[in-house]
């Protein structure tokens, strides 16, 4: 595979389309395997990070620290089977008199920092090898354990008293469900609620990078120019420059003696390996007995 067709692509997803559907035209365009670093619900818009070609190998190493920022809107007074506005309404409840100031105070008291949330039953998390939504669609009950997530900030809170809607911006850790946050916040306000809209502003570490619509991508004369280098997803790993002979040994699955490395490496740590020209080659791990390849680009 030509390496110019490897990298991360930042798509500005439109509403009413699944993340999987977004990947199909990209796969056809680049004629290679495509993945993503995390789905967006069909109703949601914004940054969908697509992994083109060999960049798929490194998704798991980028995801661990991929905090995400959203603009969200919660509809109070009703809840649905999917916990968002696209689902069938299953209950309604009066909304008490609320203000932006009061809602902000509840948020600061109960929803900032490390919290536990119960993921929605309509989600792609797995139970006994099948996604939660498999059981939801069959009306089957499964045990869902609360998970620890981090909410770093909730800002720009605004409450529309006429529409009973809360608008806000939120920065969260990977694995946080904004639909679950909507349900929990509504409960803390003595009512019920669901997610009315969601826009992903960015996912780390691509905070200040441009996004592209699918139309822009497929009509671009050189779409490969829109790909971001693989190592842009891995800024949290220290770089280590290795000789070609060391890289060749790693490519062949050999554990390389630590004395062949030009710098001191900490045992148990993962490093971003580059060649003599500082080009990204893959990820390596310092073991007790030397250096071992974790994920490497194919040799040309």
Catalytic residues: 41
Please indicate, yes or no, whether residues 162 and 271 belong to a single structural domain of this protein.
no
Check: CB of residue 67 under 8 Å from CB of residue 170: no
Q: State which of 203, 220, 248 marks the end of a domain.
A: 203
Number of domains in the chain: 3
Cβ pair 72, 170 in contact under 8 A:
yes
**Angle subtended at Cα 23 by Cα 21 and Cα 26, rounded to the nearest 5 degrees:** 130
Only one residue has tokens 């050999």, namely: 254
CATH number for 225: 3.30.2350.10
Res. 262 pLDDT band, cuts 50 70 90: confident
CB 193, CB 181: distance < 8 Å: no
Same domain, 223 and 264: no
pLDDT in tens, 101-141: 999 999 999 999 999 999 999 988 899 999 899 999 999 99
Supply the pTM of this predicted model.
0.90
Place of tokens 């911006």: 169
| Whether 73 contacts 195, CB under 8 Å | yes
Domain edge (last residue) among 187, 203, 219: 203
pLDDT of residue 66: 85
Question: Looking at per-residue confidence, does 238 or 38 come out higher?
Answer: 238
What range defines the domain where residue 140 resides? Answer: 68-203
Are 161 and 259 within one domain?
no
Residues 12 and 112 in one domain: no
Co-location of 36 and 116 in the same domain: no
Q: Are 84 and 169 found together in one domain?
A: yes
- My answer on whether 156 and 178 are in the same domain is yes
Residues 16 and 77 placed together within one structural domain of the fold: no
Considering the chain, what is the average pLDDT of its residues?
93
Look up tokens 């495509």; give the residue.
Answer: 34
């Amino acid at each position: 595979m030509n390496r110019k067709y490897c990298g991360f692509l930042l798509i500005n997803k439109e509403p009413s389309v699944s993340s999987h559907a977004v990947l199909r035209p990209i796969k056809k365009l680049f004629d290679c395997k495509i993945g993503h670093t995390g789905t967006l619900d069909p109703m949601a818009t914004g940054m969908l990070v697509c992994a083109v070609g060999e960049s798929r190998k490194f998704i798991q190493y980028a995801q661990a620290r991929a905090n995400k920022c959203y603009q969200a809107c919660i509809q109070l007074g009703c809840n649905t089977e999917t916990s968002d506005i696209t689902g069938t309404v299953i209950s309604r409840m009066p909304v008490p008199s609320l203000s932006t100031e009061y809602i902000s105070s509840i948020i600061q008291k109960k929803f900032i920092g490390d919290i536990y949330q119960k993921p929605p039953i309509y989600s792609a998390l797995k139970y006994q090898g099948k996604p939660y939504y498999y059981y939801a669609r069959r009306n089957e009950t499964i045990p869902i354990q609360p998970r620890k997530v981090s909410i770093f900030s909730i800002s720009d809170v605004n409450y529309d008293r006429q529409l009973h809607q809360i608008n806000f911006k939120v920065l969260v850790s990977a694995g946080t469900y904004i639909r679950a946050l909507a349900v929990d916040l509504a409960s803390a306000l003595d009512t019920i609620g669901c997610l009315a809209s969601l826009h992903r502003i960015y996912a780390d570490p691509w905070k200040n990078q441009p996004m592209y619509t699918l139309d822009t991508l497929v009509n671009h004369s050189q779409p490969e120019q829109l790909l971001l280098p693989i190592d842009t997803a891995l800024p949290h790993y220290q770089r280590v420059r290795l000789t070609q002979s060391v890289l060749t040994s790693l490519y062949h699955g050999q554990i390389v003696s630590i004395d062949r490395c030009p710098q001191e490496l900490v045992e148990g740590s993962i490093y971003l390996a580059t060649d003599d020209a500082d080009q990204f080659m893959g990820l390596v791990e310092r073991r007790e007995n030397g250096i071992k390849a974790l994920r490497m680009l194919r040799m040309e």
